[in-house]
Structure formats: C-alpha cells, structure tokens
Structure 1
C-alpha cells in the first residue's frame, strides 16, 4: 500500500464514525449508511492521490457518501415510504467538531449499546460503526471466526430494525440508566486489550487505543457526566503503564514496573481528569461512581515515585468507597491486596479465602502470593497451579510459572 493510500485509510478510520452516524440519522438505515461510506472510501482512494486531500476530508466523505446513498435509493425499483422520504432530504450540515454532527455519533453510540441487544453484539456493533473496524478485525480481536462475527453484527442490525430501536440520545430521565451500559462496553473493549483473555498477544494495543478513542469521543460529547470523565481518566492512567507491563514475554506487576518508562503525559492528563471529577463531586455533594473511584485509585498508584512510596491507606479507603457503590467480590479481592500491605498477608488471606471467586484466576494468583509471603510453599504451589490453569494469557502464565518455580521445595520447619 502506498503512503498516500495509507494516509487516506487513516483519515477514513478517524472520520468513519462521524460519516456513518450522519448517514444513519439522514436515511434511517444502517446498511445504507455502511455501504455508502464504503463507496466514498473507494472514490477517495481514486481521487485524493491525484487531487490531494481536501481541506475538510470528513465533510467531503460525508457529502460523497450521502450522494452515493441517494443514488442507491434511486436505483431500487421498490422503495418503501421511508426511502421515498429520504430522497427529499437535503442535508447541508457543515462538518464541524461540535454541534449536530457530534450529536449524531452520540445517538449512534446509544443505539449500538441498547439494552435490547446482547452484550457481545453491543461491543461488535460499537467497534464496527463508531470505530470503523472491519468485520475481520473485530473477529480477530475477540478470537471468533469471521463468519460468526459477521452473523453477530447482522443479527444486531436486524434487531435494531425489527424492534424499532430508536436512533436517539435517551431523554434526561433515561440517560442516567442507559449511560452505564455504554461505559461498560467501552471498558470491556479496553480490558480485552489491556490483558487479552486468550491468543498469543498478551496486550492488544489496537483495542486499548480504540477504547480510549471512543472514550474521548464520549467525553467530548458529554463533558459534564462525571462517570464518563472517570472512565477516560481510568483508561489513560492504565494505558500510561502499558509499555512496562510485559518484559521478556512475562507480565510485570505494578509494584515491579519501571516507573521511568511510564507515559508522563498520559498520567498528567489522567490526574487532571481525576481532580476535575473529585472537585465536581465535592461541589455537588454527589458520591463518586465506580469509574471515578477506580481512576482515583490509579491516580494514587501513578503518583507514587516508587512502589515503597505508595499510599496504601488511601487506596484501601478508596476501595471502601468503591465497595459501597459497586459491591462485588472482585472489589473486595483488590481491597485485600491493599490490606496485605497495611496489616500483613495473614489478615488479607483470611479476607480472600472468604470470597466466592474460585473460578477467577486473579483470586488464585492473589492467594498464591499471600501464601508465598507467609512461607506456606506447598499451598502456594497449588494456588499457582490453579491460577495458571485458569488463564490463557501467555505473559501472565509465564509470570505465574516463574513465581511458582521460585518457591522453596519444602515447607519450612
């Protein structure tokens, strides 16, 4: 691929969500929007290398795609009333970074993440329509056959059409209830990239980058929603540590990472977002939500010059707040890690052993570390075995195997 074509594809992916969202709003049909956007790319590939990239590439793509959609509708011999009406629409909305075009993307995000759709369909449709990823790329990201992913996306689009799922931002009364589902989809994409659940790659940079891009879009559209700000901050502070998380094919834990390799620009941006969340919470009296609290926990970690300087009392207190708003055994497990630093591994192990997480690899890994610190090598070895068996991530398995191999051969005493 030539440099010119590579640049065009990059621009196209950046603008894809805007173009499709605008066309869906205009024509009320996702399939027409996708096909027209694809045709616009082909025209750009033909014209831009010769004529140069236009000053407003997004506007050019939107206009070209709109014309192609109208041409398609005109070619159809049987058009329903909706398509007939679409022919009468003229849309001269300027392609600007704010205003109606941005609202189109917000509408599309909520359509993709509608609770009537299955969770896996919400993720796939969001990556396809907002992220501009191809069906093969999405299938590869989640390690399913391409045909399976294509069927999943097709069923989701049919569900939207058949169930008459509205293409709109929820009303104010519904927004609070619907927004967590949207945030959960974006965070799921990020987590799959941050620590891949399967496959040969330990970290999927493409997925973490895509989730952050979607998070930035949502934050730009809903700047006054504190949980949106919190999620973006959380992803940025986590992403800042990505390049230090794997070394020699092995996972490197937070406390062992080279902090000099952390991305300080992302950390500064994340800290600023966290401060704005906490200031808003103090001003309004509203209790911070789970993403704000998780971001605050990561802010404490990334603020410490060294692992020894970590303010574990602050982290434990933040986990207490998190458990109050989002009680779960996983939150309690993470809090126990802070307890081990404050009160010792024996106190933490007693808390961990009470949690119903025997099918969760991190529970076994946490137990293994606490048992190792207590000198209970035999039990630690069994816990490491269980953790290794419960994860398919290659870097994590390598780390756990090394820790298991470093255990004393027999129990002390």
Structure 2
C-alpha cells in the first residue's frame, strides 16, 4: 500500500513519540516506527484505516517480540502493563509532561537535551524531528557527511546514557532548550529556502514545515520576541517566495515579481516582526538574532522595488546582527548590502570583494558558496562580464540541480 507523503509526514512524529514513550527511548521509538511504516507500505490497499494507530500497534508488538527474544519479557511485563505505556494514543493531558505539546515540538524538546553538545543537538533534531537528510544537515552546518552521521550516532547513544528513558521536559527545562530549538527550526527553513525555492509539492517543503513548527512554538511562547521573530522570518520568506523563480530559473532581487507575493502572509509576518522588536526589551538592550532577522526581512518586504530598498537601514541592522550572531552567513549577507551601498554611492568595491574572497577561501562550504555568488553578482552588475561568467561556471560544480543552478548556467557563458 503506497503511503501518501502528506499522511506519512503527519503520522510519523505521532508514531515516534508514542513508541518512544513505550520503549522509553527516542532511538528505539524511531527504529520501531520505521519498521512499522515499512510493514504498512507492504499491506494491500484498503487494509489500514488508521495509519497512526496501526503503526503504533505494530511497532509495539515488534518491540515486545524483541524483548521476548532476549528472554526478559517476564521481568518487563509489569512496566509494559502500566496505562501510560500501554495506551495507543499520545498523551494529551496537560498534567502529563509534554501532553500539551504538538508531537513534533515534543520530539524537538527531547532532541535538544542540554546533556548533549550543541552540535549533537542540532544533528539529532534536524534528522529525527525535522526530517532532513544527512547530506542536507552536513551542508547546512558546513561539515562532512561522515561527521554529521557520526554525530547523529553519538547523540542517540549519549541521550540514552544521560536520561535512560524517553521523557518530554517541562517548565524550566523547556526554556533552557528553547534557543537550540529556534536554531533547528531556522536551519530547517534555511535549507528549504536554499534547496527548494520551488518545492515539487506541499508534502516536500522544509520551509513550510519550519513555519508549522514556529507556529507551534508561538502557541507555547506567545510573548517571546525571539519566537515571534522566527515566525516572522518564516512568514515573510514564504510570502516572498512566489516571485523568486520564473521558468525554473531563480531570479535576483531586482527581477523578482512582487505582484505575486502572498500579501496575507506578508501582513502577518510584518505584524510578527513589529511585535518581536517591540518586545525585545528597552532601547538600551540589543534585540536578539531572530528579532533582528525579522526586521531585516521586513525592510525587504516593504520596499516597492529593489532600487527603493533602504540599504542604509539594512546595513545598520546587519551590523547589529553581526554582534548578536557573528556567523559566516551574517558576514556574507552584510557584505552584500555594503556592496549595494558602494555601487549606489560610486565607492570602491575592492575592500568588500577582498572580504568575500577571504570567506571563499576560509569559510565553511555554505558561506564560501554564498560569497562566491556575491562576487559573481558584483562582477555582473559592474560590467565585468568575463569575470562574472567564470565565477558562475565554477559555481555549477557546487550548486545542486535546481533554480539557482539554472541561474548560474544562464550567466556562465
């Protein structure tokens, strides 16, 4: 029975969470869920009415069989019979830790356990909860695929050693894990926007999944400026996505068709961005990363066209963001804005291009790629056609198939 992708994406976190409660292990919950879905796919059409319930039952029976094979079923029977373990439904009682949470959010809280190193938290959350592939995770973090795979294995083992059983945190423990969770959701959104600017369908859309998680986070933390800022970034990015691609080719900012933007989502995102900045604290306290990113997105979203964009304001915001989040990605984006200002004011681009060259040489792969794109764009805009074409040809070797690669191909010869 082929499983509908949309049904799978809805059912997967519910089944994993329920089996993790049963087995007291996130790793085992994922393993038995995968086995259950594989068996569901092998069933004849029409035999499964409730995919979640069927997979939970099959996963639980498979786990019990494994326990019997290890000759410990008798010892474990009292624990297995406990109501909170035996129930098929995911707990929804707010009195149960994690019972008030969306299933994917509950798993995200578990994966972002502060007993794990930050890098391990990110890999575990992005793989198990966000559903990114090892290749996508490695590309986003700027590490080798083997390193990402090893971190995932170590993270699962470390989580089992540290906690012993699957437990969704509550209270202060959730608050402590929130910053890493925001980083994970932002990473999911970035991967979706970068790798899938034109998703094949709604069931294969990491950016839309990120918005769903951001909305669940806002439901839990409605007054947190960073949570609101993250939702603003997701909303504004998705609102502007319809104008990013034409005939399978990515469009630069100057050519984006702003008339097809989703203005309902745009308005909601601007409301979030305004609220995030307003709640970020007193004027002498700098806003956080996501409140600033929301403000940056808001500047782009409210400009009638690229020429009318407030590049000076963007430069100020990126200076603040560089202090709050001094990442290679921020450095590249800031240099792009400074390049726009230099061209507008007829100033020398050489210092900016030297900084971009440094990032190409020494930055992580994703930053080196974006810096190369920025250098190619500067060369194209300043009439250095041969240089621009050469840089776009080099980028064809590192950019995966898709609209952005087609843009590079179009300008490479």
Cα offset for 1:254? Answer: 2.3
Which residue number corresponds to residue 354 of structure 2? 353
Per-residue CA distance 1:181-210 (angstroms, 9 max, x = gap)? 32222222322222229xx99x99532233
For residues 265 and 68 of structure 1, do their structure 2 counterparts lie closer, same or farther at Cα, with a shift above 3 Å needed? Answer: farther
1:107-118 alignment to 2 at 5 Å? 107-114=106-113
Which residue number corresponds to residue 169 of structure 1? 169
Aligned with 1:362 (options 350, 370, 386):
370
For residues 308 and 62 of structure 1, do their structure 2 counterparts lie closer, same or farther at Cα, with a shift above 3 Å needed? Answer: same
Which residue number corresponds to residue 211 of structure 1? 210
Cα offset for 1:265? Answer: 2.5
For residues 258 and 180 of structure 1, do their structure 2 counterparts lie closer, same or farther at Cα, with a shift above 3 Å needed? Answer: same
Cα offset for 1:256? Answer: 1.2
Match status 1:395 vs 2:392? no
Which residue number corresponds to residue 295 of structure 1? 294
Take 1:183 and 1:82, find their aligned partners in 2: how far apart are those partners?
41
Take 2:83 and 2:164, find their aligned partners in 1: how far apart are those partners?
24
Q: TM-score, normalised by structure 2?
A: 0.72
Match status 1:259 vs 2:258? yes
Which residue number corresponds to residue 232 of structure 1? 231
Which residue number corresponds to residue 25 of structure 2? 29
345-354 or 257-266: bigger deviation: 345-354
For residues 121 and 378 of structure 1, do their structure 2 counterparts lie closer, same or farther at Cα, with a shift above 3 Å needed? Answer: same
For residues 66 and 88 of structure 1, do their structure 2 counterparts lie closer, same or farther at Cα, with a shift above 3 Å needed? Answer: farther
Take 2:329 and 2:37, find their aligned partners in 1: how far apart are those partners?
46
Which residue number corresponds to residue 79 of structure 1? 72
Aligned length: 388
Residues 194 and 205, structure 1, Cα contact 8 Å, conserved in 2: no
Per-residue CA distance 1:325-379 (angstroms, 9 max, x = gap)? 1224442332233333334264454234235212412222222332343344454
Per-residue CA distance 1:294-327 (angstroms, 9 max, x = gap)? 1221121112232233222322221121112122
Q: TM-score, normalised by structure 1?
A: 0.72
Residues 26 and 86, structure 1, Cα contact 8 Å, conserved in 2: no
Aligned with 1:102 (options 100, 103, 106):
100
Per-residue CA distance 1:227-253 (angstroms, 9 max, x = gap)? 222222212221223333222332212
Take 1:304 and 1:97, find their aligned partners in 2: how far apart are those partners?
46
For residues 98 and 285 of structure 1, do their structure 2 counterparts lie closer, same or farther at Cα, with a shift above 3 Å needed? Answer: farther
Cα offset for 1:139? Answer: 6.2
Structure 1 unaligned residues grouped into runs of 5+:
406-413
Cα offset for 1:50? Answer: 8.2
Cα offset for 1:257? Answer: 0.8
Which residue number corresponds to residue 184 of structure 2? 185
Aligned with 2:16 (options 20, 24, 32):
20
Take 2:322 and 2:399, find their aligned partners in 1: how far apart are those partners?
25
314-323 or 22-31: bigger deviation: 22-31
79-88 or 206-215: bigger deviation: 79-88
For residues 17 and 401 of structure 1, do their structure 2 counterparts lie closer, same or farther at Cα, with a shift above 3 Å needed? Answer: closer
Take 1:40 and 1:83, find their aligned partners in 2: how far apart are those partners?
25
Cα offset for 1:271? Answer: 1.5
Which residue number corresponds to residue 411 of structure 1? none
233-242 or 281-290: bigger deviation: 281-290
Cα offset for 1:98? Answer: 6.3
Cα offset for 1:399? Answer: 1.9
Residues 277 and 292, structure 1, Cα contact 8 Å, conserved in 2: yes
Residues 218 and 228, structure 2, Cα contact 8 Å, conserved in 1: yes
Take 1:196 and 1:85, find their aligned partners in 2: how far apart are those partners?
48
Residues 122 and 180, structure 2, Cα contact 8 Å, conserved in 1: no
Which residue number corresponds to residue 83 of structure 2? 90
Q: Secondary structure at the match of 1:337?
A: helix
Q: Secondary structure at the match of 2:222?
A: coil
Take 1:104 and 1:82, find their aligned partners in 2: how far apart are those partners?
33
Take 2:11 and 2:261, find their aligned partners in 1: how far apart are those partners?
30
Cα offset for 1:277? Answer: 0.8
Take 2:56 and 2:389, find their aligned partners in 1: how far apart are those partners?
63
Cα offset for 1:40? Answer: 9.2
For residues 110 and 347 of structure 1, do their structure 2 counterparts lie closer, same or farther at Cα, with a shift above 3 Å needed? Answer: farther
Structure 2 unaligned residues grouped into runs of 5+:
140-145, 362-367
RMSD of the TM alignment (CA)? 4.6
Match status 1:268 vs 2:267? yes
For residues 373 and 242 of structure 1, do their structure 2 counterparts lie closer, same or farther at Cα, with a shift above 3 Å needed? Answer: closer
Residues 241 and 262, structure 1, Cα contact 8 Å, conserved in 2: yes
